[in-house]
Amino acid sequence: MAGFVGAFLFLAGSYLVFAGQVSGHEIGLAALFGAAASLWWAALQSVAGMRFRLELKALAEVARALALLPLAVLKVGGTLILGLFRPPGSEAVRRAFAHGGQHDPADAARRAAVLLAVSLAPDKFALRLGDGRDELLLHEMVKSPVQGDARWPA
């Protein structure tokens, strides 16, 4: 019940922030849409096959990927301009990636955060998680050194 109330307060409050004004009509609509979205959230929680539990490290990895995005755009832009004169050297590479427990909510959230962080940059994206192996298959347009560790590949 506390999760439902928290979701309602967050969603209704978000509606009011984005509405740009606080009036009787907006408060009524915030309550209506907050309740509808919270009910939808609760319904999805009851049938979801996989749970996620975000940790601060996962959010930090996504934030780091977002911060590095402008530099990656410049690198890819340079590669594409050079590609007018010679073919770019993109390739598929395998990186060590510890999947963790299949049904552990923290590991599921970490996998999702890693896939998002890796795929945000325009110079690489995740092709797939290794089939039964602890690896991540990436397509890289600009060759980058291996960074991070098996839990948090960069």
Sheet holding 135-140, edge to edge: 91-96, 135-140, 124-129
Region 45-70: mean pLDDT is: 79
State how far the alpha carbon of 98 is from the alpha carbons of 7, 105, 111, 146, in Å.
32, 15, 9, 15
pTM listed for this prediction: 0.58
Q: Report yes or no: 96 and 150 within 8 Å, Cβ to Cβ.
A: yes
Picking from 27-31, 67-71, 119-123, which range would have the lowest pLDDT averaged per residue? 119-123
Domain ranges of the chain: 2-47, 56-140
